[in-house]
A and B are shown apart, each in its own frame.
Chain A
């Protein structure tokens, strides 16, 4: 999978490779220059050629500066590479997840999906860019050092090779041992965060009811756990530092000792002894970094696996071939439910063999207890799910024939829960459609009685709506109506749209509803399905359908049912909806 995402970045990869190799070569050169300098100065004594020494010093400075430039270049390309690749991955995953069945989305919280689509991918981005830079760059440098040392003297090469292997293995082992230190801390932290979040969110409850003392006593308990786990995690973490430092001191010491021994035997110059120490010092960084990155590789592998798992889930709902509904978006369709049976879980059907027709341009009120299948019907209509048997039709065409965008383009939905984005009023109303002119949005909002509210907003339509603030439940609901008005579809579904509002705001919604459905004579008629808990809401319906445990209990023209005292609807009218539907 990684290769798939890296392949399109070939040029960046090539540039990165050039910078890495050049950078390594330059890094390897500088100890050689110093060695030559020392030997020239020490052996020459008073006869040492000063110009040559100055030239070496100048060369050293030049090489140093070049190394910086190359370092910055390779960082640039590796970051670009990492982010381009992972952005593409995030985009793919988001597209994929948006296409998955609703069953998937009901099972996964948005928080989980943030972790999958953003968290895992972001972890990979860091890994991608650092991995190439540090593992490959580090391996190049380490290999280069060893090769240079072998060329100098096979004994120092062999000694430091053994050292590098032993140090790498030992560090890996100690990291594994100290690795578990985060878990207790992470748990203590999440308990602490949970504690704080709840208390801060419930601050009014605490303060006005004198619960401060209680909160502080609880806080002392969570504090203690956090303190202990924090200190122990830090101390265990410190073992890695101690081990690494001791190992590198040993490596350093070995290089020095071998250098001195070779010097005493006349097989190395004093400059070479110093060069050995410098190379031994240079080895520490890559050994540390490679080990760290390998550990991160495990995390990255876990992220990759989760991403792979997500990609492996396929939607069971497939797009239809197309029903040729172009140009019929605003036309009020006839809606049919034929022998419809549907179950979320195989053994307990929510809709059982339901037959129902809604003529074009008519409004049907759906009534029934909670769990009778009303909301499920609307989900089936949008093809968020497919029925196990039977069919849904618009103007007689099975909706599975239509492409999803064709189908959904014809229907508008207002639900009880209004989802707002942390973006401008304009984007919230149009759902990111830049094609809708501002004047039209303003007109719709004003028609819905949100004109005053809009005038109060500091930046008008460009005001950013803060999620969860600034908008009352009623206003949010009206904004949801605005979305439908802007979409202007021929079929409208209202799901308990006004059950949470106070009577006064309810009234404003009712007016909006009249206008939307064209029942006040102001606009064109739309076909509408209204699910309501309040009888007043279905009073504008032409037809009524009462559902009971997924079956159609009764349907007919509202006026007919009202006139018939034996009808279930008439009984409802007498006893009150709240009592029956509770």
Chain B
């Protein structure tokens, strides 16, 4: 639960590895922008924290009076019991302040976190250009949760440091006024501590990363083992898997213990400094007390202040550690967002959609020299060019890993393209990612995602659809029978906390979502792969029944029906278009396509499709 501000966050809670610590002031600059987005709340928080930290100074002063009074050196002629009452008031006053300071500051940090998250999501869904792969969605989620938390933890650092600095300056001033010589003596252990603290903090950083990695490896290995439990058993690999777990466990223990020791070192050295300083005070005060220059009350005041006054290296160190952590967090956020400027992340005004200009109905779409090389698994595409005419169907086919999906996603600007241009009715498209969207274009990915909301909301996805519109979309997606079978029809909640739809149903819901947008161009990736022969047939028939209104189609498919319907087939092999043409010419001219075709035929050896082709 990184979400709530704890009263005293442990230093290691925010300590993260320091890979590539940027030498600039990124985190401080962004922190200033975060504060500036809510200046009132932040200002009030700072003031209240300063009061909270410095009010205990009063308690020390009163305590000094009490002890001087007891030892017969009373300055003010106040009764000792009145002083005790005053002392108690001084103890409780900061608590009253803290009641309000927490309210103000938690509201500030919570709102700031949400502001950053909203900005991140806004950039992801609205901004131009492609998005780098987020890794697993768990990783992306951790950017949203933990890294944003760590950026805001820097704000905690600011108010804490501010309050503690005010306390330290005031405390040292008061102590200096009482006895300059003794006060100056506690500076020495403070300087010593600066060095030691830095050393230990570096160790904490290093080992916290190592320990976290070791921990994550154990957790994910346990998860993998139980996901693959059948495979492990069937392979008789139980002992080997458990042996691996034992190794990972041992590493985890070692790293966790080492990390803990470093954290304890920091704690004990912190407490140690103030005790050490007290010891130094004792040494120096011995002479001064003997000479009557230093009273018992003075000593109690020094003892009360020395802890907080000598903690400066610690809280400065902590602030710097938080800054480093925030720098790393900001870097990771930046990486998640692609080329987003960090100013966008800390902007007070949320992002809206990019304007894409007037909609000019599709006559031709031309792709020239599209090249996308991505990932390490080699299925990029190289120098892809083709043209789509209004109302035609183009099928992309090829072997697994040939680059078909990359071709589609590259065209749509969903992944970065190293080269290539797209022309809409002859005009160059500046940014396909924001331009090739409804009403121009809509898309069904290979594995479409539905969200945990009603089927209706999933299909509409923000559109204000009439009943008729919905019905049409559902019909075109050959989904009406499935909808009728669902108990609550289109109002059924789908997704993790609702009804689980079959793979084919998800695909057709996504197709309905695409049809509902009535785009000029439909792009779909293997939309019929999970469909049976009859449904697939209905799908294509209905698409063609639209007559004049029929949208232009670009689809990946390996199905015979799709090949037959296509005006143009693009055969992709090794990331390039190896052959193009219609079914008849390709069967004649392309040995590769012929091979794919026969393999398809063989796979469907005795299905009705064969009869259809032969007829």
Contacts and interface: CB of A to CB of B under 8 A. Distances in A.
Contact of A382 (B126, B234, B376, B449): B234
B349 interface: no
A565 interface: no
A536 B603 contact: yes
Given A202-B451, A502-B558, A574 B250 contact: no
A270 interface: yes
Nearest to B69: A260
Contact of B401 (A113, A219, A472): A472
A238 B102 contact: yes
Contacts of A200: 124, 134, 137, 140-141
A241 interface: yes
Interface string A242-272: 1001100110110011001001000000100
* A interface residue count range (under 10 / 10 to 19 / 20 to 34 / 35 or more): 35 or more
Interface in A46-61: 46, 48, 50, 53-54, 56-58, 60-61
Interface string A487-523: 1000000000000011111110000000000000000
A535 B232 contact: no
Interface string A442-472: 0000000000000011100000000111111
Contacts of A242: 95, 98-99
Contacts of A212: 122, 125-126, 353
A469 B353 CA distance: 31
B596 interface: yes
A401 to B, nearest CB: 17
Interface stretch (A33-41, A152-160, A293-301, A391-399): A33-41
B499 interface: no
Contacts of B18: none
Contact of A419 (B91, B126, B227, B276): B227
A194 interface: yes
Interface stretch (B434-442, B481-489, B579-587): B434-442
Contacts of B517: 209-210
Interface in A148-199: 182, 185-186, 189, 193-199
Contact of A274 (B241, B300, B605): B300
Given A72-B264, A475-B401, A503-B596, A205 B98 contact: no
- Name which of B118, B124, B235, B290 has the most chain A CB atoms within 10 A of its CB: B235
Given A203-B124, A205-B445, A238-B99, A196 B283 contact: no
A208 B92 contact: no
Contacts of A579: 533, 607-608
Contact of A505 (B286, B291, B400): B400
A369 interface: no
A5 interface: no
B252 interface: yes
B606 A535 contact: yes
Contacts of A213: 353, 462
Contacts of A575: 606
> DSSP class of B's interface residues: helix, strand, loop or mixed?
helix
B95 A246 contact: yes
Interface in A192-250: 193-220, 223, 226-227, 230-231, 233-235, 237-238, 241-242, 245-246, 249-250
Interface in B213-237: 215, 218-237
Contacts of A470: 375-377
Interface string B93-125: 001001100110011001100100110011011
Contacts, number: 438
B278 A60 contact: yes
Interface string A279-303: 0000000000000000000000000
A9 B609 CA distance: 71
B412 interface: yes
> DSSP class of A's interface residues: helix, strand, loop or mixed?
helix
Contacts of B605: 534-536
B606 A576 contact: yes
Contacts of B300: 274
A413 interface: yes
A208 B414 contact: yes
Contacts of A274: 67, 296, 300, 303
Contacts of B226: 97, 105, 108, 110, 113-114, 117
Contacts of A506: 599, 603
B33 interface: no
Interface stretch (B3-11, B158-166, B315-323): B3-11
A431 B438 contact: no
A72 B230 contact: no
Contacts of B608: 576, 579
Given A201-B449, A579-B608, A105 B230 contact: yes
A400 interface: no
A41 B286 contact: yes
- Name which of A210, A216, A422, A470 has the most chain B CB atoms within 10 A of its CB: A210
A257 B40 CA distance: 42
B264 A536 contact: no
Given A203-B124, A205-B443, A382-B233, 10 more contacts: A60-B282, A114-B226, A118-B219, A231-B103, A235-B106, A260-B70, A384-B234, A427-B244, A503-B599, A506-B603
- A-B residue pairs, 9 tightest by C-beta: A214-B462, A202-B449, A419-B228, A53-B286, A504-B399, A208-B443, A212-B125, A57-B282, A61-B279
